[in-house]
Amino acid sequence: MKRFVRTALLLPLLLLVAAYLGLAAAWAACSYDSLAAALPLPHPGVLSPRQSAILLAVEDPDFHTHPGISLAAGQGVATLTSAVARDFYLRDGQAGAGLMQRFYAGVQRCCKAIDFGRDAMALVLDARMSKTRQLDYYIAHVYMGTQAGVQVRGLALAALLYAGKPLAALDAHEFVRLVAMIKAPNHYHPQRRPAALAERVARIEALLAGKCRPAGWSDTLYEACTSPQGTP
């Protein structure tokens, strides 16, 4: 009897989730062309091959092979594609996005930790937008914290504000400092939280050097990339 009751309660919830994901995917597919026209994709990025390799090794190890979502070690809940999808489809002011934005904002307030709507949109986006253009879009729009009360968007602007030089002029360590910020830009802010940023940079550099690996899918902090005493 208890099993029957649990099943009876679970089935409507599963149907509701399926309907929500279907709505998100259908809206993403139908609105792609109009949103792309209203918000043209950025010019090609200026990352060097080494910089691209660093960015993807940290933020999306399976970027070039996954369909929009991934369970790669160290990936965590968001792929580069899903980050692009949320920005591309749900940015304020985009034509035709208002109703879905309001609906999605409500879902986020309710169930942000378990929301899969962004992943449904990511699957659609990956099928429509090339990996190269996704990367270009991400480089141009990724959130990089606040400076003097203003949001910093894009790696190029972040390089100028935080490193004092153009993105193309950054050395490997300087670029890793930018990439290290992406997970939580204000927590790892180079001026307000330099110690936290330095610790994350050291872990990422150990990861890139092959000295450690993520402990699993959710290990975006790279817990293994530190000594037993806690010093990376």
Encode 43-104 in three state secondary structure: CCCCCCHHHHHHHHHHHCCCCCCCCCCCCCCCCCCCCHHHHHHHHHHHCCCCCCCHHHHHHH
Rounded to the nearest 5 degrees, what angle is found at the Cα of 53, between the Cα atoms of 122 and 221? 70
> Which residues neighbour 48 within 8 Å (Cβ) at sequence distance 6 or greater?
168
**Lookup: tokens for 28:** 């993403």
Give domain limits for the chain.
2-141
What is the reported pTM?
0.84
Q: How far apart are alpha carbons 221 and 69 in whole angstroms? A: 19
Positive or negative, the CA dihedral 78, 81, 86, 91 is positive
Q: How far apart are alpha carbons 96 and 200 in whole angstroms? A: 39
For 91, other C-beta atoms within 10 Å of its C-beta total 13
Burial of 161: CB neighbours in 10 Å, binned 0-12, 13-18, 19+: middle
pLDDT at 201: 97
Burial of 185: CB neighbours in 10 Å, binned 0-12, 13-18, 19+: buried
Would you write out the chain's pLDDT as a tens digit for each of its 232 residues? 556 546 656 777 677 767 777 777 887 888 888 888 877 666 656 799 999 999 999 999 999 999 999 989 998 888 999 999 988 887 754 544 566 666 766 666 666 555 677 888 899 999 999 999 999 999 999 999 998 888 999 999 999 999 999 999 999 999 999 999 999 999 999 999 999 999 999 999 999 999 999 999 999 999 889 754 444 5
pLDDT at 228: 45
Compute the residue count for the chain. Answer: 232
pLDDT at 196: 96
